[in-house]
Amino acid sequence: MAHPGLLVIPLLISLGLPGLHSERCQVNGDQKPLEIRLLQLMIGSFNATATPNPSILIALRLAREHNRTIERALAEKLKEDAVKRVNTGADFSSGLVALYVMALQASCEDPRHVSALNTTIDLVQLLEEKYHQELVNIDNHQQPLTNYYQLGLDILALCLQNVIANVSVVLDTTCASLKYGHGKVFSVDTAAVVVLGLTCVKKTGTLTSEEIVAIKETLRSLVRKILRGKKSDGVIGNIYSTGLAMQALFVSGYYYTPSQWNCTQTLEAVLNAIPQGAFDNPPMAASQVTPSLGGRTYLEVKGLDCANDTDNLPIISPPTPPPVSNVSQINVSLTVVDGVTNTFNYSIYLTMPEGCLFLDVLNKAQSLEPAKFSFTVKDTLYGPYLVSINGLAAVNNEAYWQLKNGNIPLNQGIGSYKPANGAKLVAIFTSLPSGG
């Protein structure tokens, strides 16, 4: 007679209960060129003189195809840049350090001994210190120095280095809607990186049974919220959070049933967006989506076999578009409003070349009416971030310049969004609920 336990497995499967499936789809042979297009775009974005992007190196390392020369050059650049930041005290937020640690680990380099410019630094220790500062800030001000997305990255990177961080701040589900907010909406991206971080921690086997229960409860709740963000076409959150959501769902099959998520449908939604150029600019967007196209997750940064990499991803420069003699013109309006204290409200109507960026519109307005409109930007991994307008500047975790077309918030920034004819571009100074 069959062992009673053996009967339970088919029964659970037929009931569609969670726990017994691992939903991991990935591109097939026909779809592969779409993934390669994004890998090549990231390879082509490498610039020896620009600030290196660790998220791109992570994505390239997690892929099955490689360009060893560019990956090595990028790893060297990151080491140099990390040492420079530490030596000069330049900006180095906890999440950014976490990305550097993961990028070097994925390149089979030791982030505890990063040598460049005749100096050796320990990036893992630095990350521990940065994470500690985040926790102190939460204690003192009820919010991290940065945001919960970066706390998720910190926990993940430390765990992949066998350092178990204190994760109680992400287990505490009070104010979950604030912690996982992107502005006023739920951030699938944030929930996804926290799921990856906690999954790593859960696997270490060093936890008490109470801690395991608390982590499992948090994972269950986050997975439910991620799945609640699923649209009818398979997109989860928006197209830019979908890749991270896929990674989170790849590792948490225990918490949902097969009927709750159709991996192939989500993969197709992402693939459909690639030819439309959705991930072309900035390459950061490509870096967050490609791991899941290959069925990979950030957890696999640990244990990559660098010695056996293939070297089969040539640099292909994108075809230069033919010069257009008659660019059509579009009409757009730009309105900027201080939506917090209503100190100003300014509008301008502009004629712009078709295909221009939101940033071009801001530049033109500033050059035409410098006394009435001026702005500043900051360079980030995601491209130019609009920091201030007419001297009114974003305050971390308190207020920011939100971008809209009419009433609809944009899901891209000023360096990527291309307004269509008739666009009503809006930048509105908006307060953040708390915790970013």
Contact 87, 47 (CB under 8 A): no
Per-residue binder mask for ligand B12 (CB under 6 A), 313-352, x = binder = ----------------------------------------
Other Cβ atoms within 10 Å of 150 Cβ, number: 24
Q: What is the Cα–Cα distance from 243 to 254, expressed in whole angstroms?
A: 19
**Residue among 363, 411, 431, 434 that touches ligand B12 (CB under 6 A):** 411
Based on the shown chain and the rule CB under 6 A, indicate whether residue 290 belongs to the binding site for ligand B12: no
User: Which among 13-21, 102-110, 341-349, 404-412 is the span making contact with ligand B12, rule CB under 6 A?
Assistant: 404-412
Can you give the length of the chain in residues? 436
Which residues face 115 on adjacent strands?
Answer: 120
Dihedral of CA 244/250/253/258: which sign?
positive
> Phi and psi for 435 in degrees, rounded to 5?
80, 10
Q: What is the Cα–Cα distance from 105 to 389, expressed in whole angstroms?
A: 40
**Residue among 45, 199, 247, 416 that touches ligand B12 (CB under 6 A):** 416
Nearer to ligand B12, 239 or 330 (CB): 239
Based on the shown chain and the rule CB under 6 A, indicate whether residue 150 belongs to the binding site for ligand B12: yes
Nearer to ligand B12, 149 or 313 (CB): 149
Nearer to ligand B12, 284 or 313 (CB): 284
Residue 336's identity, in one-letter code, is V
Nearer to ligand B12, 40 or 412 (CB): 412
Based on the shown chain and the rule CB under 6 A, indicate whether residue 95 belongs to the binding site for ligand B12: yes
Q: What is the Cα–Cα distance from 27 to 35, expressed in whole angstroms?
A: 8
CB of 43 to ligand B12, least distance (A): 19
Per DSSP, the three-state class of 337 is strand
Q: Is the peptide bond before 282 cis (omega within 30 degrees of 0)?
A: yes
> What tokens does 35 get?
């993934």
Which residues face 427 on adjacent strands?
Answer: 336, 403
- Tell me the site size for ligand B12, rule CB under 6 A: 41
Based on the shown chain and the rule CB under 6 A, indicate whether residue 45 belongs to the binding site for ligand B12: no
**Residue among 260, 409, 418, 434 that touches ligand B12 (CB under 6 A):** 409
Closest residue to ligand B12 in the complex (CB) = 413
Based on the shown chain and the rule CB under 6 A, indicate whether residue 287 belongs to the binding site for ligand B12: no
Residue 26's identity, in one-letter code, is Q
CB of 394 to ligand B12, least distance (A): 6
**What's the CA angle centered on 275, arms 272 and 279, to 5 degrees?**
90
E strand spans, 326-435 = 329-338, 345-353, 375-380, 383-389, 392-393, 399-405, 408-409, 424-431
Nearer to ligand B12, 258 or 339 (CB): 339
Based on the shown chain and the rule CB under 6 A, indicate whether residue 436 belongs to the binding site for ligand B12: yes
User: Which among 14-22, 260-268, 309-317, 409-417 is the span making contact with ligand B12, rule CB under 6 A?
Assistant: 409-417
> Phi and psi for 87 in degrees, rounded to 5?
-65, -35
Q: What is the Cα–Cα distance from 134 to 98, expressed in whole angstroms?
A: 13
Based on the shown chain and the rule CB under 6 A, indicate whether residue 241 belongs to the binding site for ligand B12: yes
**Residue among 286, 381, 423, 426 that touches ligand B12 (CB under 6 A):** 381
Based on the shown chain and the rule CB under 6 A, indicate whether residue 434 belongs to the binding site for ligand B12: no
Contact 124, 111 (CB under 8 A): yes
Residue from 209, 194, 121 nearest 159 by CA: 194
Per-residue binder mask for ligand B12 (CB under 6 A), 160-189, x = binder = ----------------------xx---x-x
**Residue among 100, 131, 180, 400 that touches ligand B12 (CB under 6 A):** 400
Residue from 256, 241, 159, 246 nearest 199 by CA: 159
Based on the shown chain and the rule CB under 6 A, indicate whether residue 152 belongs to the binding site for ligand B12: no
**Residue among 36, 58, 75, 403 that touches ligand B12 (CB under 6 A):** 403
Which residues sit at the interface with ligand B12, rule CB under 6 A? 93, 95-96, 99, 146-147, 149-150, 182-183, 187, 189-190, 237-238, 240-241, 244, 285, 288, 380-386, 396-397, 400-403, 409-414, 416, 436
